[in-house]
Structure 1
């Protein structure tokens, strides 16, 4: 509850506190501009609780009663109005819709109330169906949105029923008290209006402070569908001269009855009518009923009907939601998943927009709470847990190599009937990657790979001497996403001292975390197609090898590996990478390497993606390697690197920022979703590899600061050792 409303006045007010009215108040909805017609015994026209908010069309149905017209005969009508719309004055109590206008329609038969009959002050006020009907028609004609009937008794006649039907047809909410007989059914008055109200009438029973049905209240009985309960037991407090009345002993007086439960609901209806002017009376009633707190037996029951009034829930979106003017998006859906290059950027972003629920109600929401960053990769296990067999063969003109999974785990098998392999043999020989190289003439090479990236194929054809590390990647090959290559082709032409290599690649980018939609039982990682086209130039200058390349990467459904909900209508993106590499053999057995990659990503301008969307990214790595450390064939290398990271940029989304109920159209504005993380991963790794104990061994020690570009994550460090041998 907002502290601004946590006042002594509020704490004395039983209905607003129990029914969570402050949730609506905090959103700015107070009932202002909405008229509640109270058909009753009039109102205390001098009470400061209603100052400036008594409708000019207020009247006494019996015009000749007295010169003050609708002034209260007793305190019943005043208390009903107080519960519905008592002012927020800082003293006394406050009503549910404290800025609503009250249209006081006095309809009690002259002389029937005790206050008008000195000979018998205990006389109960009586009401004729015709006078109530006249008041109802008058309320509709003068713009009332809610009509409160805290009345009871016998069955409504056709005159009153038809007046109520006209009110419902005009979009007015009609609220009726269920009666105070403690019966299993609403009284005949409420029941007959419910039966003829065509879902535009809501019947209200009373609960106590603890939410139990009041002993005096008539239950839902055979009218549960349009029945709701609200606070009607022991409500504070009676007034005298505009202030809470306190007797000589210091006691204040409370009042009880379904007559005072009904205006709690009438006030809630006024809040909804102000907030959502598109709603009909029938829709307002259904929202109140469907959002009620389920009490008693599960679901709709014969005691509490649909449950207990819950204004907070009534002001929450219901049913299928969608971006205003756009596609469906459930508030439980994932709105966005960043890529590894974006790290913790989603924690800094806001996605303010307007959604519509199933009733066409507009809600301002920030969808950033449903956005998530990439799941951080901890690569050590993948580096040491593989069980694979490598095979290669070839000559000066042709070579071929395979990496084969030897774990024997079940999974998707190759087409064994074409290979003439048994299922068991095929499962033991699942190809993880393969490569074939061809020398077409002394200066022309061609290559093909399966499940191996184009960057690795190009480096091999260039003859680049890259150290091998278990964890740290070479910057020139870093795409900043979880990418799985399918096939790659490359063609290299030697022109004098220069080598020119063209390459192409297809593959998939895997969403960096589980994507959830309301239509799915569980989250899943989604894949999107990616293709790259590259051109690289390389040349050696003595002991210095250099390479410069450009790569164009096209994504069909992601933006540098990030995925956004289809409600935004985002398409893919195109990225231009510029790569530089240098390797310097500065001494016998010593090699120094430097690699850098810079990227510029331009999202496609489709759907909500607007002008100004762009991403600048960068990766770098520095290597130092010594060969022949403990023997002629081993090596010891050190690498420090920064994986690809977004250095600047945002996604500009043209989203609804307000909604006009008059035209039922949204107004759009630009929301800039920053994609730059606060964290910056810096990785260092020392790696050794070489012959060991008749086989081949490798060892690594690494340290990652702010892994995954998450500033808040602890460092990741580890030591690994792997040994393999052919048999």
Structure 2
């Protein structure tokens, strides 16, 4: 796939039997287009990438990689009575980050900030989204089997779930825009770069301030270019889960891109999640083991994975922006990491980053 390929370069490819599968316009990303191409018969993908990158406008061309959510299924559905912050199964993890009733009661602490997420589909009819300002936009083709709703519902509920539901969110009064960029292929559930970049542009079009990205995959030059532009040109805050491939894994993306805030997961004993990716790119930790959040149909259940740590940091970033909308992405990162509670080796380390995100004094 290509990002911003010039008309004359595309014409040259078509003349050499490349085929244009799909093209989309990205109004918020360099006001350009992305193209998905099929290579000529007999040419390998690797050779095709080399050739397209040799064109004057093809330098960022790359494969249309797949990305997947970062979750380990937890316990079975547990029925709980409606809870209020903070009396319920969600409270233990909130205590780790200094979340308090005061933060919830200060309705102005979420200001006019809009949180966006790219994830699987979600169940908009779930009781946790009653009276929540939630917009859902599906990007994948109607011909593609839709993604299931359990992951996206759980992530969204952590952020904006209704306060009187079984899965209250951290910032229930905040506007959320959710993009469903995933589809099913057999037993696999995944999103490709072409759709992810389209989703990032869509969220920017919707004036989203903080992007929650609870998925991971390989490095990709097209995705990197989109991420860098969003942060450096449009001042968007991108928060991504580190991934669940294990401590010996290579870095996963988009978390490992420099402008992105990379989030790892801890349990209630402040121990690192056993499957969390580690490395020099890790910025901060948050609760991600046995997290109480919405189930896909109704009620709530426990979830585990770095996917569920990222929303804590996204919520903290939104609180900072609500207090000072002029903060830049590097400033938000610095405030969050400077205020983190140190764990592991003294100072920043490759396991916990700068430590556990803290909500203390973020909403004053």
The C-alpha deviation readout for 1:474-508, integer Å capped at 9, x for no partner, is xxxxxxxxxxxxxxxxxxxxxxxxxxxxxxxxxxx
Equivalence for 2:289: 233
Higher gyration radius (CA): 1
Normalised by the size of structure 1, how large is the TM-score? 0.36
Aligned counterparts, 1:123-162, within 5 A: 123-155=187-219, 157-162=220-225
Are 2:273 and 1:214 aligned? yes
- Summarize the Cα distance change of 1:192–1:303 in structure 2 as closer, same or farther, 3 Å threshold: closer
The C-alpha deviation readout for 1:294-352, integer Å capped at 9, x for no partner, is 1111111121111111110545xxxxxxxxxxxxxxxxxxxxxxxxxxxxxxxxxxxxx
Are 2:298 and 1:242 aligned? yes
**CA apart distance, 1:179:** 0.7
Contact 1:185–1:223 under 8 Å retained in 2: no
Q: Classify the secondary structure of the residue corresponding to 1:78.
A: helix
Q: Classify the secondary structure of the residue corresponding to 1:205.
A: strand
Q: CA RMSD, aligned part only?
A: 2.6
Unaligned runs of 5+ in 1: 113-119, 245-252, 316-362, 364-727
Q: Classify the secondary structure of the residue corresponding to 1:263.
A: helix
Alpha-carbon distance in 1 for matches of 2:132, 2:106? 21
Q: Classify the secondary structure of the residue corresponding to 1:59.
A: strand
Equivalence for 2:75: none
Equivalence for 1:37: 116
Equivalence for 1:100: 174
Normalised by the size of structure 2, how large is the TM-score? 0.70
The C-alpha deviation readout for 1:512-560, integer Å capped at 9, x for no partner, is xxxxxxxxxxxxxxxxxxxxxxxxxxxxxxxxxxxxxxxxxxxxxxxxx
Contact 2:133–2:173 under 8 Å retained in 1: no
Alpha-carbon distance in 2 for matches of 1:313, 1:30? 11
Alpha-carbon distance in 2 for matches of 1:214, 1:295? 13
The structure richer in strand per residue is: 1
Alpha-carbon distance in 2 for matches of 1:241, 1:126? 21
Aligned partner of 1:259 among 307, 316, 323: 307
Contact 1:182–1:216 under 8 Å retained in 2: yes
Contact 1:179–1:186 under 8 Å retained in 2: no
Q: Classify the secondary structure of the residue corresponding to 2:200.
A: helix
Unaligned runs of 5+ in 2: 1-82
Are 2:308 and 1:223 aligned? no
Q: Classify the secondary structure of the residue corresponding to 2:253.
A: helix
Stretch deviating more after TM superposition (93-102 or 261-270): 93-102
The structure richer in helix per residue is: 2
Alpha-carbon distance in 1 for matches of 2:215, 2:315? 17
Q: Classify the secondary structure of the residue corresponding to 1:282.
A: helix
Alpha-carbon distance in 2 for matches of 1:163, 1:232? 27
The C-alpha deviation readout for 1:623-677, integer Å capped at 9, x for no partner, is xxxxxxxxxxxxxxxxxxxxxxxxxxxxxxxxxxxxxxxxxxxxxxxxxxxxxxx
**CA apart distance, 1:231:** 0.4
- Summarize the Cα distance change of 1:270–1:294 in structure 2 as closer, same or farther, 3 Å threshold: same
Equivalence for 1:17: 95
Equivalence for 1:77: 152
Alpha-carbon distance in 2 for matches of 1:72, 1:273? 32
Contact 1:14–1:231 under 8 Å retained in 2: no
**CA apart distance, 1:5:** 6.4
Equivalence for 2:264: 205
Equivalence for 2:355: 307
- Summarize the Cα distance change of 1:241–1:74 in structure 2 as closer, same or farther, 3 Å threshold: closer
Aligned partner of 2:128 among 38, 49, 53: 49
Alpha-carbon distance in 2 for matches of 1:306, 1:74? 33
Equivalence for 2:70: none
Are 2:331 and 1:271 aligned? no
Equivalence for 2:65: none
Q: Classify the secondary structure of the residue corresponding to 2:94.
A: helix
Aligned partner of 1:60 among 124, 129, 138: 138
**CA apart distance, 1:166:** 2.1
- Summarize the Cα distance change of 1:84–1:232 in structure 2 as closer, same or farther, 3 Å threshold: same
**CA apart distance, 1:87:** 1.8
Alpha-carbon distance in 2 for matches of 1:94, 1:6? 8
Q: How many residues align?
A: 280
- Summarize the Cα distance change of 1:313–1:124 in structure 2 as closer, same or farther, 3 Å threshold: farther
| Larger RCO (alpha carbons 8 Å, 6+ apart) | 2
Alpha-carbon distance in 2 for matches of 1:142, 1:171? 14
Alpha-carbon distance in 2 for matches of 1:7, 1:95? 11
Equivalence for 2:341: 293
Are 2:227 and 1:164 aligned? yes
Alpha-carbon distance in 2 for matches of 1:146, 1:153? 20
Alpha-carbon distance in 1 for matches of 2:198, 2:85? 41
Alpha-carbon distance in 1 for matches of 2:250, 2:353? 11
